[in-house]
Amino acid sequence: MMKQVSIIGIIFAVGVLVLLKVFQDSIPRISEPTTNIFVFIGFIIIAIIYGVSQHKKNNNQK
């Protein structure tokens, strides 16, 4: 069950990357450095929250 979920996640991620590559020209570019920093910090915060929630979920299942 766990391997099937991870394979589906990998396929989904590859699909999203392909779509981003296809529509790359239509996505507006952000050239302001402060906006890039805010987007990067937001991404890191979301990744940390997601990682912590996954860790707690795995600990509760054991």
pLDDT 10s digits, 4-56: 667 788 888 899 989 888 887 776 776 777 877 888 899 999 999 988 888 88
Note the pLDDT of residue 45.
Answer: 94
Q: What is the DSSP string of 16-46?
A: HHHHHHHTTTTSPP---HHHHHHHHHHHHHH
Q: How far is CA 7 from CA 12, 13, 32, in A?
A: 9, 10, 37
Does the model's pTM come out above 0.85?
A: no
**More confident of the two residues 61 and 8:** 8
Tokens of 16: 């999203």
Q: What pLDDT score does 5 carry?
A: 66
